[in-house]
Amino acid sequence: MSKGDMEKGKGKIKETVGKVTGDESLEAEGQTDQMKGKARDAGEKAREAGEKMHEAAEKAREATKRRDA
């Protein structure tokens, strides 16, 4: 489970407790936590995509070196 997933889960709990108790502040805090979790997940996916692009570029560079040698 990722940190983003944990943050989204924590936020969902806060939001639900806020709704049940009528605590609008806690409900809003839960929604904010969920958005933070989604943002964290998106950042992680972007980082992973960047790493894959870097790996692909390295492989292409190595293939070019072998071809030109």
Q: pLDDT of 15-69, one tens digit each?
A: 999 999 999 999 999 999 999 999 999 999 999 999 999 999 999 999 898 888 7
pLDDT for 68: 80
Closest CA to 2 of 30, 39, 54, 55: 39
- Count up the domains in the chain and report the number: 1
- In this prediction the pTM is 0.75
* Count of positions (residues) in the chain: 69
pLDDT for 32: 98
User: What is the distance between the terminal CA atoms of the chain, rounded to a whole angstrom?
Assistant: 46
pLDDT for 57: 96
Tell me if residue 69 falls in helix, strand or coil: coil
pLDDT for 14: 98
Distance, CA of 8 to chain centre: 10
CA distance linking residue 42 with residue 48, whole number of Å: 10
Domain extent at residue 33: 3-68
